[in-house]
Amino acid sequence: MTARHGEDWGYAASTGLGFTHHTIVDAHFRACEEPYLDQLRGAGIRPGQHVLDAGCGPGDFLPHLAALVGPDGRITAVDLAEENATLAATRARDWDLPCPVRVERENLLRLPYPDDHFDAAWCSNTVQYLGDQELSQALAELVRVVRPGGTVAVKDLDAHLITARPADPYLFADFFRAAGAGPGYAHQLLRTQELHLWLKGAGLVDVTQRTTLIEHHAPLTAAELDFYKPACARLAEQAARLGMSPQWHAFRDVDAVDHPLDHPDAYVREGNVLSIGTVAGTRPPGG
């Protein structure tokens, strides 16, 4: 049996994509908030810009994007899951943000905006849900709707760098190698280290890429445990389907008294890639 892309990964939103429900997205943001915001600050977003939050989820980045663009800027946020877009819109109103924020349910593969409509696009933890052809299409759409000279910044998780202790140091690497052997979610999480090549292929110029290692050491905080315990449990279920190491059993019960992440020497790590490109200064004929 293969480790596929949909609900069998758990925490699916109405789209059927695993790990898109707002509870797990919010938990991941809280666990990694400081390095996430450091990556956002490095995305080249400036005061006064009109920014597209492409795949906004439940809106965790919206207040921070609003702070970057300030009162002279504005934000348009989109998400494919209707309930996530609704929650993000509600939160944006409740937060009383310093700039106008519009949240809409839209598909990144068919954005309803005219060419050159935005100054920048921020796309966080979203391309992991796109197959190769879909990724090309989504990047083409971002390039189309961002003006020449504008910025497209894509951040996502690189599964090559995920690990947890105490456990076999190759436990997670072996899982992702097996699960990512064919098309699907695991394969797409392993593709992240090549984002810079995809941005160049979409016609973006001056492409840069930086990988941030996000490390958590014992004792893990409540926010860290709230995300990593259930996330590891879902990976353990996938590993069981693949007939992998029995060491995964220790991660399956989040309430186990001997859970690895409660160990005095517990450690969990992930890597996040930020790839940034500039829309070329002139459009090709017919572009």
Whether residue 228 contacts residue 157, with contact meaning beta carbons closer than 8 Å, is answered with no
Give the right CATH number for 7-164+176-217+272-278 from 2.30.40.10, 1.20.59.10, 1.10.3720.10, 3.40.50.150.
3.40.50.150
Whether residue 130 contacts residue 107, with contact meaning beta carbons closer than 8 Å, is answered with no
pLDDT of 191 over the 80 cut? yes
pLDDT of amino acid 135: 98
Which residues contact residue 3 at a Cβ distance below 8 angstroms, ignoring those fewer than 6 apart? 9, 178, 179, 184, 185, 186, 238, 241, 242
For the segment 207-235, the average pLDDT, to the nearest whole number, is: 98
pLDDT of amino acid 7: 60
pLDDT of 6 over the 70 cut? no
For the segment 211-239, the average pLDDT, to the nearest whole number, is: 97
Whether residue 80 contacts residue 55, with contact meaning beta carbons closer than 8 Å, is answered with yes
Amino acid at site 206: D
Q: How far is CA 25 from the centre of its chain?
A: 9
As to burial, measured by CB atoms within 10 angstroms (0-12 exposed, 13-18 middle, 19+ buried), residue 117 is middle
Which of 11-15, 69-73, 148-152, 206-210 shows the lowest mean pLDDT across its residues? 11-15
Number of residues that make up the chain: 287
Q: Give the model confidence (pLDDT) of 98-112 as tens digits.
A: 999 999 999 999 999
Which residues contact residue 214 at a Cβ distance below 8 angstroms, ignoring those fewer than 6 apart? 32, 35, 269, 270, 271, 272
Coil, helix or strand for 167? coil
As to burial, measured by CB atoms within 10 angstroms (0-12 exposed, 13-18 middle, 19+ buried), residue 256 is middle
pLDDT of 262 over the 50 cut? yes
pLDDT of 189 over the 50 cut? yes
For the segment 175-196, the average pLDDT, to the nearest whole number, is: 95
Whether residue 125 contacts residue 58, with contact meaning beta carbons closer than 8 Å, is answered with no
pLDDT of amino acid 281: 85
* Six-digit token string for 256: 């186990």
Mean per-residue pLDDT over the chain, rounded? 95
H or E element at residue 74: strand 74-79
For the segment 26-50, the average pLDDT, to the nearest whole number, is: 98
pLDDT of 128 over the 90 cut? yes
Q: What is the pTM of this model?
A: 0.94
pLDDT of amino acid 247: 95
275: which strand partners? 154, 209
pLDDT of 285 over the 70 cut? no
pLDDT of 286 over the 60 cut? no
pLDDT of amino acid 85: 98
pLDDT of amino acid 282: 66
For the segment 74-96, the average pLDDT, to the nearest whole number, is: 97
Which residues contact residue 131 at a Cβ distance below 8 angstroms, ignoring those fewer than 6 apart? 183, 188
Tell me how far apart the alpha carbons of residues 241 and 40 are, in angstroms, rounded to a whole number.
36
